[in-house]
Amino acid sequence: MDAFWLVIYAYLGLILGYFLRRITKEEMKPGENYFRKSGMVIMLLMAFLSLVIFTSDLNRDLGALFGLGLVLGMIFRTPYPVFALGLVFAIGRFGLILASLIFVFGLIDSSLKWGRNLLVETFMYFLLPALVLVYYDLSFVNEFMVLAFFSGFCFSYAYKVLTRD
């Protein structure tokens, strides 16, 4: 599947979550805790999958990028720029699986954080960077390094969100 369509597919989860929230307002309040927890399970699944892939070529540089991802996961307010980076570089490995996980995470996240501002924010932080990365030929970048960073970020961001509740 083409990288462009995988990015569009992943972004559709945000749009569908927005409409899901508008349709089922009364059922969102009781299920909010379950949505949060399931969103973090999806985030951890993304982290484990990318961890399995990048450990096949483990070296010191990958460990440093994993550590950088752990640090930035605690700092970033939104995971979508890193999702864009991870999705574009995971195309050859597990792109469809990652796009599906981002789709489900976006569905859950936009159901919880209802509002048009989220759609605009994720358009700027996810869709535009991902499409720019797809457009340019970045074959010189080592995809294992990007997945190491992505994995560390996902672990750290999930931990930050789970301990915040």
For the chain, count helices (H), then strands (E): 8, 0
Amino acid sitting at position 59? N
CB 82 within 8 A of CB 76: yes
**138 has pLDDT over 80:** no
Q: Where are the domains of the chain?
A: 3-164
**Whether pLDDT at 136 is above 90:** no
User: Which pTM does this prediction carry?
Assistant: 0.89
Question: Which SS3 state, helix, strand or coil, does residue 8 take?
Answer: helix
Burial (Cβ within 10 Å: 0-12, 13-18, ≥19) of residue 36:
middle
Q: What is the 3-state secondary structure (H, E, C) of 67-97?
A: HHHHHHHHHCCCCHHHHHHHHHHCHHHHHHH
90-114 residue pLDDT tens: 756 688 899 999 999 988 888 887 6
- Asked if 6 and 94 count as a contact pair (C-beta separation under 8 A), the reply is no
pLDDT tens for 47-69 read 998 888 777 777 788 889 999 99
Distances (CA, A) of 109 to 38, 74, 96, 139: 10, 18, 19, 31
pLDDT tens profile 31-44: 788 888 888 899 99
Query: Rounded to whole angstroms, what are the CA distances from 75 to 71, 120, 130, 156?
Result: 7, 21, 21, 9
Residues 6+ apart with CB under 8 A from 78: 121, 122, 125
Question: Do residues 110 and 118 make contact, with C-beta atoms less than 8 angstroms apart?
Answer: yes
